[in-house]
Amino acid sequence: MADVQQIINDVTKVYGKERKALMPILQAVVKIKNYLDDQDLISISKALDLSAAEVFGTASFYTFLDIVPRGKNVIRVCKTISCHMAGKDEIIHAIENTLNVKTGETSVDKKFTLLSTNCLGWCHKGPVMLINDKVFPELTAAKAIEILQNYQEEE
């Protein structure tokens, strides 16, 4: 497990021990361990001398700052209109069947969490999904499954 204290130290070195360091810290923790647990939020609040409630309030506002456990790879399929018209339903079904999860759930092996999200800024190349920070535009059901298999084979 990544050392959250270490992350806090690294980020505050760049941004200072001020509140404006909060987003960068939260983002850095999520990047490494995929979600923030209560203990993380408390450590962060101590380091920045903020109340835990303030830190929780900020974290819980943002869709990408997960405060519930997530799988190693977080899949976000765009569900907004242009991708809707381009066939996002098919993609979501294909992923749900492949991973045996429903949207919002994490696979049993904890490798994937499937989420839907709003416009990802690739509307001319929909349907599109993000896996962590990586973009996969112009999806077909077959392509989406193949991409997942590549992730599955990793390590």
Q: Which residues bind other proteins (CB under 8 A)?
A: 18-24, 26-27, 48, 57-58, 61-65, 80-82, 84-85, 117-126, 130, 133-135
Please name the residues in contact with 127: beta carbons below 8 A apart, sequence gap of 6 or more: 77, 78, 83, 86, 87, 88, 90, 91, 138, 139
> 141 phi and psi, to 5 degrees?
-60, -45
* Nearest Cα to Cα of residue 59 among 103, 24, 13, 106: 24
Q: Which of 52, 67, 119, 145 forms a contact with ligand FES (CB under 6 A)? A: 119
112 lies in the site for ligand FES, by CB under 6 A = no
Return the closest-CA partner of residue 10 out of 19, 1, 21: 21
What three-state secondary structure class fits 4? helix
How far is Cα 95 from Cα 88, in angstroms, rounded to an integer?
A: 11
128 contact choice in other proteins, ligand FES, none (CB below 5 to 8 Å, kind-dependent): ligand FES
20 binds, among ligand FES, other proteins, none (CB under 5 to 8 A by kind): other proteins
Q: Does 115 bind ligand FES (CB under 6 A)?
A: no
Partner interacting with residue 22 (select from other proteins, ligand FES, none; CB below 5-8 Å by kind):
other proteins
74 alpha carbon, distance to own chain's centre:
5
**Smallest distance from the beta carbon of 79 to other proteins, in angstroms?**
8
Residues contacting 139, CB < 8 A, separation 6+:
91, 126, 127, 128, 129
Contact string 76-105 vs ligand FES (x = CB under 6 A): --x-xxxx----------------------
Using the contact rule CB under 6 A, the part of the chain among 29-37, 61-69, 101-109, 113-121 near ligand FES is 113-121
Cα 117 to chain centroid distance, Å, stands at 10
Is 75 among the residues that bind ligand FES (CB under 6 A)? no
Residues of the shown chain interacting with ligand FES in the complex, contacts defined by CB under 6 A: 78, 80-83, 119-123, 126, 128
